Structure formats: structure tokens, C-alpha cells
Structure 1
Amino acid sequence: MGMSEIQWQKSSYSTDAEGNCVELAAQAVGTVLLRESDAPGVPVTTTPAHLRTLLRHVKAGRLGGAPRP
């Protein structure tokens, strides 16, 4: 499956006005793709479990940002 055929889903926290967005796509069972609008041709491949861990850390502010409510 080519990059143009993948069905990407934009984060609800992304803003179109600034051009900053994160998108996710399911490529195969147990595989998730993650990409930024800055580099759409360079996705990161991960698993659902690793993505959940990343999101937990982001929400807790462990990656340099403030914790989200």
C-alpha cells in the first residue's frame, strides 16, 4: 500500500490555521503509522500499545509540555 492510499486521521487537537497537525493511520493489524504535517512522507511505525504509552506520557507532561487536564 502506497502512502497516498493510506487513510490518515488528523488529531482533533491539530489546528489547520497554523498548519501544525499530527495524523494517525492503521496500516495492518497491530501496526499504527504516525506522521507530522511538516514531513508527511516520513511516518513513524509503532504498535497500539506503544502509542498508548506515548499518549499517556504526553498527557502527563513528561515530554517537556505542561500536563493536560
Structure 2
Amino acid sequence: MTPEVIGPYVKSSYSGQNNNCVEIAVTSNGGRAVRDSKNPGGPSLHFTGEGWRAFLRGVEGGAFDS
């Protein structure tokens, strides 16, 4: 079962005005939901709390750098 989004979706402070952004919201299980700001009614990705923390560690550690 997909957890309920309980917080508002928020854009990163690093996002510009070109609308190529992702938005993140808190979910009922303590995780996060991520969606494309250009398609707010479209699909979203859901992370558990631990999954979200692992994703952030990967970003901070450069795991997704090209």
C-alpha cells in the first residue's frame, strides 16, 4: 500500500524559474514522495524513511555524479 502524502510538496531552494524541478513531500510512514513539478497530477516515487536517507547519502557522496 502506498503511504499517504501528509505534507505539502516543496521545491528545492536550488530550483530555478524554468520549472525543471522535482518536489518532495513527507508521507504518513515517515518517508518521502517525489514528483515532477511540471506534472503535479502525474506519478510520484515513494521512499521509505531509510530509503530516503540512503538516497541522500548517495547524493552527498557523489554516487550519482556523471
Which category of TM-score, normalised to the shorter sequence, fits these structures? 0.5 to 0.7
Partner of residue 9, structure 1? 10
Higher relative contact order (CA 8 A, sep 6+): 2
**Alignment size in residue pairs:** 62
**Where has structure 1 moved over 6 Å in runs of 4 or more?**
none
Q: Give me the CA root mean square deviation.
A: 2.5
Name the TM-score, length of structure 1 as normaliser. 0.66
Partner of residue 63, structure 2? 62
Gaps of 5+ in 1: none
Gaps of 5+ in 2: none
**Alpha-carbon distance between aligned partners in 1 of 2:31 and 2:61, rounded to the nearest angstrom:** 24
The percent identity for this pair of structures is: 34
**1:11-60 alpha-carbon deviations (Å, 9 max, x no partner):** 11211x22121211123132321112244311101112111111111122
